[in-house]
Amino acid sequence: MRILVTAGPTREHIDPVRFISNRSTGKMGFAVAAEAAAAGHDAILVAGPVSLPTPSGVRRIDIVSALDMLAAVRGELDGADILVMAAAVADWRPAAVSALKLKKSAMAPSIPLVPNPDILREVAPLKGGRVFVGFAAETGAPDAEARRKLADKGLDLICANDVTAPGAGFGTDTNLVTVFGRGGFRLELPLMPKRDVAREIVRLAVEAREARDGR
């Protein structure tokens, strides 16, 4: 199968040297791509600005902003069977990007922002028989919010991680994830290495895709 994965943060530039971003390091998404390739799938990784090496057997597309990520996902979705959105996409970007470094004296104390497109919602009309997997970065009990995002974004599976739990979320080598699916499916995984979480996610997504094909 062909598995398209997004990872890392997006960077929303204010000028050539300043940007808005978040704490994602790409570890979770890179682990998903690595496990997909290790399981013999064709893995494509759309990566925000991170400092991780490309996992063996993975084709990598580097992007910077949410708009770049949307274009890359749109461009690769056609041949994909599964999309896993592990990236932490910035919800907002500066309304204007200066081509030159802004002088401190010319900067206003606030930056006008405009909303970024929601990538999962943008590509929902192209879903067809594909399996879409999202992540939900939550603070506190994830169930209600994860189920809301599952339905709201038209997903097959959503992996909720409590990003305030020790050893979970941004930058850690482990994660604490509960996977939610359609029809009340709920699988609570213990705290474990992101590679092991990733292996479970790839397994569940492939199973869902095979079930759709009637295999």
Which of 45, 66, 83, 208 is close enough to bind ligand PMT by CB under 6 A? 66
* Options 22, 116, 161, 175, the catalytic residue: 22
Q: Which of residues 107-146 bind ligand PMT (CB under 6 A)?
A: 116, 118-120, 134-137
Strands 2-7 and 82-85: parallel
Of 102 and 154, CB closest to ligand PMT:
154
Reading the block at residue 167, the tokens are 């050893």
**b/e map 126-141, b = 16+ CB within 10 Å:** eeeebbbbbbbbbeee
Of 83 and 206, CB closest to ligand PMT:
83
* Least distance to ligand PMT, CB of residue 151, Å: 13
Is 161 among the catalytic positions? no
Under the criterion CB under 6 A, does residue 200 sit at the interface with ligand PMT?
Answer: no
Residues 6+ apart with CB under 8 A from 66: 10, 12, 89, 90, 93, 116, 117, 119
Which of 91, 147, 154, 196 is close enough to bind ligand PMT by CB under 6 A? 91
69: left (phi over 0), alpha (psi -120 to 50) or beta: alpha
Under the criterion CB under 6 A, does residue 169 sit at the interface with ligand PMT?
Answer: yes
Please say whether the dihedral angle defined by the alpha carbons of residues 68, 64, 31 and 115, taken in this order, is positive or negative.
Answer: negative
Which of 1, 28, 46, 201 is close enough to bind ligand PMT by CB under 6 A? 28
Residue ranges binding ligand PMT (CB under 6 A): 8, 24-28, 66, 85-89, 91, 116, 118-120, 134-137, 149, 161, 163, 169-171
Q: Which residues are catalytic?
A: 22
